[in-house]
Amino acid sequence: MNIQFKKGILELCVLSLLIEKDRYGYELFNVLSENIAVSEGTIYPLLRRLNKDGYFSTYLKESTEGPPRKYYKITDEGRKAHEVLSKEWKEFLNGVSNILTGGTK
Amino acid sequence: MTKKEFMQKLKDNLIGLNQNDKREVLLDYEEHFMDGKQQGRTEEEICEALGDPKEIAMEIKSQSQQNAPNNDGVNIVANIFGMIVLSGACIGLISILFSVVAAAISGVFGAVAVATFFTDVTLKIAAISAVVFAVSICTLIALGIVKLIPVVIKWFKQMAYSMDNKPEKAKAVQYKKVKIHALVWILLSVLAVASICGMIVGGVGFAREVVEKYDIDDIRELEEFVYDITTDHGRWVYYDEYGAMEFEEAMEEFAEDMEDFADDMEDKYGRWDRWYFGWRFIGD
């Protein structure tokens, strides 16, 4: 699969997960890896990039198990980006399923 | 690979990233290892899943470069320019520093020499005050220069960063206040004022001593000698005492008279006064 394409999908997934609730890095990785094949090392560069783009902010929160964890919180800009990306993704899915079910003439 | 090896390799490959970003990236992976271990994974497993730390570092660095404006040319020019000006300024400051220290040392020796020369207490006070004054002023200047060097370096760093479009770095260069410097400055200023007062006391004492010690008639006689030999555009004119004489002859007569006078003065006031009253005035 095209790397840029995969990055775009990962972006969409992360934004979707953060719309649900604030999460920390490993939690995001856990949910992602349960559902799609994701390379563990690429998560943090991706999170850094989205953070720099202003799609979410970060804060530290105490954890019961050890040092405080870094939590990611989505911003309005992130929500907008999510809207655009999910729309594109749905259009893409529709297009693909049309082709697969022979919906084109 | 262990966690330690992974983190070290990551850190090594993040060179070029600014300190804050670097720390943040390393903390992210620290956290990841911690959470992974809590889930029962071993360091080896996590390292393997994370992949090559070098590639992760490259990915992160490439992001930073995309975000920052590309101005390597300006960077190099700014650095070279900064280095040239900076080294010039530093060498200048250091040379001033050395000359000030040299001046202070020579001032000490000179003033000690003068202090041993004077016999009178007030004159000694004046000389010692001069020493203290010279040393404290020189120390003030030297301290100022020492303090100035890092400020100049910081200034040029800031200039280079702002030319480099890195305002956050320029901001990070902050000036620190060193209170002890202020204390030393105040102390030395007090010393300087005290030594000026000492010199005034010494000067007044010197003037009073001159007035009290010497007969006013002796000083008048000396003045007359000097007046006589300097009138008539350098020609010797002693018609009243010696009659009209040739130049050489008049000179000899006068020199003898002057020597007698100087001997008298030496008997009366001592060797230093002979220098003061005597040969200085008939030299040329």
pLDDT digits over A33-88, tens only? 888 878 888 888 888 888 888 898 888 888 777 778 888 999 999 999 899 889 98
At residue A36, the pLDDT reads: 83
Whole-Å CA distances, B167 to B71, B155, B156, B159, B212: 14, 13, 14, 10, 72
pLDDT given for residue A42 in this prediction: 81
E strand or H helix at A71, and its extent? Answer: strand A69-74
* Rounded Cα–Cα distance for residues A96 and A103 (Å): 10
Task: Output the pLDDT for position B69.
Answer: 47
pLDDT at B22 exceeding the cut of 70? yes
Q: Per the CB < 8 Å rule, is A26 touching B67? A: no
Question: What average pLDDT does this structure show over B236-258?
Answer: 60
- The residue-averaged pLDDT of B136-144 equals 75
- DSSP, collapsed to helix, strand or coil, labels residue A55 as coil
Q: Please say if the pLDDT value at position A19 is more than 80.
A: yes
Report whether B245 contacts B253 (CB < 8 A). yes
| Distances B233 to B227, B229, B246 between C-alpha atoms, Å | 11, 9, 16
Of these ranges, A94-98, B144-148, B235-239, B272-276, the one predicted with the greatest mean pLDDT is A94-98
pLDDT of residue B120: 62
Q: Which percentage of chain B shows pLDDT scores above 70?
A: 54
State the pairing for strand pair A23-24/A69-74: antiparallel
DSSP three-state, residue A105: coil
* Contact by Cβ (8 Å): B43, A36: no
Residue A101, classed as helix, strand or coil, is: coil
Amino acid at B120: D
Q: Please give the DSSP secondary-structure letter assigned to residue A68.
A: P
Distance of alpha carbon B170 from alpha carbon B157, whole angstroms: 7
Chain B's closest residue to A51, CA to CA, is B63
Calculate mean pLDDT across residues B22-44: 86
Q: Does B241 touch chain A (CB under 8 A)?
A: no
Considering only alpha carbons, which residue of chain A is nearest residue B60? A45
Averaged pLDDT score across all residues of chain B = 69
Least trusted range by pLDDT, from B105-109, B179-183, B224-228, B271-275:
B271-275
d(CA A57, CA B182): 44
Give the B window 112-171 contacts with A, CB below 8 Å: none
How far off is chain B from A73, nearest CA to CA, in Å?
A: 16
Q: Is A41 on the interface with B (CB under 8 A)?
A: yes
Instruction: Identify the pLDDT of residue A1.
Output: 47
Residues 6+ apart with CB under 8 A from B163: B74, B77, B78
Of A26, A49, A66, the CB nearest to B32: A26
Measure the CA–CA gap between B100 and B268, rounded to whole angstroms.
43
Tokens of A89: 């993704």
Residue A39's SS3 state is coil
Of A26, A52, A66, the CB nearest to B67: A52
Which residue has better confidence, B266 or B12? B12
Nearest by Cα to B113 from B98, B134, B99, B97? B134
Query: What sign does the dihedral B213-B215-B220-B221 (CA atoms) show?
Result: negative
Confidence label for B77 from pLDDT (cuts 50, 70 and 90): low
Residue A94 pLDDT exceeds 60: yes
- Per-residue confidence band for B174, with pLDDT thresholds at 50, 70 and 90: very low
Residues B98 and B174: beta-carbon distance below 8 Å: no
Q: H/E/C letters for each residue in chain B?
A: CCHHHHHHHHHHHCECECHHHHHHHHHHHHHHHHHHHHCCCCHHHHHHHHCCHHHHHHHHHHHHHHHCCCCHHHHHHHHHHHHHHHHHHHHHHHHHHHHHHHHHHHHHHHHHHHHHHCCCHHHHHHHHHHHHHHHHHHHHHHHHHHHHHHHHHHHHHHHHHHHCCCHHHHHHCCCCCCHHHHHHHHHHHHHHHHHHHHHHHHHHHHHHHHHHHCCHHHHHHHHHHHHHHHCHHHCCCCHHHHCCCCHHHHHHHHHHHHHHHHHHHHHHHCHHHHHHHCHHHHCC
- Give contacts of B55 with chain A, Cβ < 8 Å: 41
Q: Which of the listed ranges A22-36, B137-151, B229-243 does the model predict with the highest average pLDDT?
A: A22-36
B204 at interface of A, judged by CB pairs closer than 8 A:
no
C-alpha pair distances (Å), B88 with each of A95, B94, B149, B153: 68, 10, 11, 11
Q: How far is B63 from chain A (nearest CA, A)?
A: 7
Question: Which one of A7, A34, A40 makes the best mutation probe of the B interface by having the most chain B beta carbons within 10 Å?
Answer: A40
Instruction: Please state, as a whole number, how many other Cβ atoms lie within 10 Å of the Cβ of residue B80.
Output: 11
Radius of gyration, CA atoms only, chain B: 39
Q: How far is Cα B32 from Cα B10, in angstroms, rounded to an integer?
A: 14
Say if residue B130's pLDDT is above 60.
Answer: yes
Is the Cβ pair A40, B51 closer than 8 Å?
yes
Mutate to test the interface with A, among B25, B44, B56, B58 (most CBs of A within 10 A): B56
